[in-house]
Structure 1
């Protein structure tokens, strides 16, 4: 079936999430397809940051730790994120970076796995996950074992302490079956740490429904918390007696007693480290609050519809130009992004940016486009593909500057 402008208009008119677009600061003419790397700024974040800076910080100063409830921001925001990822109250803490939270989750899991010393992951995982695992292994009598993405389940055995996996792959958008993988790991006595950086706010996540052990994720992608936004860590309540290696003062049972000996807090608070980054927390909370106003089921359905439209239009408008779709064709197996391989991927992405379409490049030859249903319209997708078609028709990737930069990359 040929997709027409009338078809696109009907899709936008029937969109139950259309009102959320006005909640974001979107520059006229911009087609932003990189929200899976950095989400757009909610308009309400400006007022929140102004209040935090001018009232809570400038006027309230240190009294705002209690007066503005800064002191409880990690748990408060963590509970809100928990509603998005299928966790109970008291199972998620916000703060630190994804990398640091990976380290905390891995060491917490290891503390529960006496006699097991193998850390398992897959070779194509997002690099920071593997780097943190490799670094941890160098500090102890541990083995970091990396296997091909399809060999993970077969690699589970009695020597493995912890399995670290990303639920939605950052390049291919492949979704792993969290419940199945976790169950298979538990059969072998293995605990699992899930990275939800491309899941939370993009697909429906049910950590407790999958009997998950630990999970981490970032706040700056689909949660729209801003560049470098605080991350979060989930620990199932049955694991709250675990002992993560990083033991900062906010993880102490009584941080304001200033005791010289560490005594871990009860519950999720023991996974805190240092002082919460209040400015970052304030911005993140606005993004999370906005996400909570949307129905996750409707959001997922729109994500699939936007993605299917993108793929169909690529076939209709750009099918002759050598693009290879590298994501799962079944939308139920694909996260909220689409990706294509092309031998001039880097140059084409630069040409798209020149036409005000923002996607991103992933080595060696992948063009990646984030599908963010809260602020993308069906018209955005159609216009983005049309600008790509014009680039291909005019062979704008032949520009010398792009050829040279692509060769360097």
Structure 2
């Protein structure tokens, strides 16, 4: 007697939007609480809302081992990077280079391309080798000399799941005197990360993906030594130690990450993500990572057995929590994704690359079901190709 698949058993989209059991109810309760507070005619709103925003900040700091006063909120990783660039000491970038890799998130590249003329820097994009799927660490190092003022490293690539050797790259960057930032987005909440070991100058992330939060709930970490040298262009009453200091001639930046704030902080996204943050910090991190590692191992074995070529490192120690695979041109990836969706199997694609990321809801049975469905799509196509060539 067959049984229906468990809801979420083949949910493989943790590289996009993370889910966990009870998320909907947690979010509904959190937002209902916000509505109760914000809709009460009593003047008590800000104490509650700003307190919960601070809890969100504190939980992020705990996750990435950030010292007190070095984390604040931002709308997205892109706006966070804009805040960092606009805060750097005058002349930091002038006549220098900013270094990024081709497999970094495109939105950040778009931003830096637009800022290069204004801040008078040259943007250097390290390319993916011909036939490769990610940028190699040695290629980044080969482009990284004393002319690089800022290097933005992508810890885990969203298109290949390749994981950079951050300690190796930071060690090189320190010798070059570079300000070093890391985009943590594609593995934060799944793999452990410590912004102090090795010490980086800033880090950015969102509360989506493995963090299971909502859009608009980004975070900026900045090392305290750099913070004190920064005077952000984007500033406002919340950039001060006391936001209610309204003497127009006595503006003074806070001596911590609050100086990266500006006007009245956008708090709803942080409050909506707070239940997921609380859930995540209550979990066994090793157990979550081991579950992902087991399921990506099953996926890898099945995909390779079908003759499909991975677009991710074959060594699990060299990747994040996702597995990417190249589909032949005879199988339009978007059509494959749509066909699998009809069977309650959820993944996505970038061009001809399928992206699969199993998380806490995903089960071993769900992965087996995914592989079976994918095999039925791939192998008949192979058979048709073989017949056509006879």
Change (3 A) 1:315 1:158: closer
Which residue number corresponds to residue 326 of structure 1?
Answer: 311
Q: Contact 2:183–2:205 at 8 Å: present in 1 too? A: yes
> 1:40-119 to 2 correspondence within 5 Å?
40=19, 42=23, 43-53=25-35, 55-59=36-40, 62-66=43-47, 68=48, 70-109=49-88, 111=90, 113=92, 117-119=96-98
> 1:1-400 to 2 correspondence within 5 Å?
28=7, 31-40=10-19, 42=23, 43-53=25-35, 55-59=36-40, 62-66=43-47, 68=48, 70-109=49-88, 111=90, 113=92, 117-148=96-127, 149-150=135-136, 151-226=139-214, 228-241=215-228, 242-260=230-248, 262-316=251-305, 319-320=306-307, 323-342=308-327, 343=329, 344=331, 345-363=333-351, 365-372=352-359, 374-393=360-379, 395=381
Between the aligned partners of 1:169 and 1:340, the Cα distance in structure 2 is 14
- Greater fraction of residues in helix: 1
Deviation at 1:179, TM superposition (A): 1.6
Between the aligned partners of 1:36 and 1:245, the Cα distance in structure 2 is 32
Residues 352-390 of structure 1: CA deviation (Å, up to 9, x unaligned): 112221111112x11001222x32222222222222223
Q: Contact 1:79–1:91 at 8 Å: present in 2 too? A: no
Q: 3-state DSSP class of the match of 1:145? A: strand
Between the aligned partners of 1:127 and 1:114, the Cα distance in structure 2 is 21
Q: Contact 2:204–2:219 at 8 Å: present in 1 too? A: yes
Q: Contact 2:161–2:320 at 8 Å: present in 1 too? A: yes
Change (3 A) 1:376 1:162: same
Q: 3-state DSSP class of the match of 2:81? A: helix
Between the aligned partners of 1:257 and 1:111, the Cα distance in structure 2 is 26
Residues 172-215 of structure 1: CA deviation (Å, up to 9, x unaligned): 10111112211111100001111111021121111111111100
Deviation at 1:243, TM superposition (A): 2.3
User: What is the TM-score normalised by the length of structure 1?
Assistant: 0.82
User: What is the TM-score normalised by the length of structure 2?
Assistant: 0.86
Deviation at 1:46, TM superposition (A): 1.6
Aligned length: 362
Change (3 A) 1:185 1:393: same
Q: 3-state DSSP class of the match of 1:306? A: helix
Between the aligned partners of 1:186 and 1:259, the Cα distance in structure 2 is 41
Q: Contact 1:106–1:162 at 8 Å: present in 2 too? A: no
Between the aligned partners of 1:111 and 1:296, the Cα distance in structure 2 is 41
Deviation at 1:76, TM superposition (A): 2.6
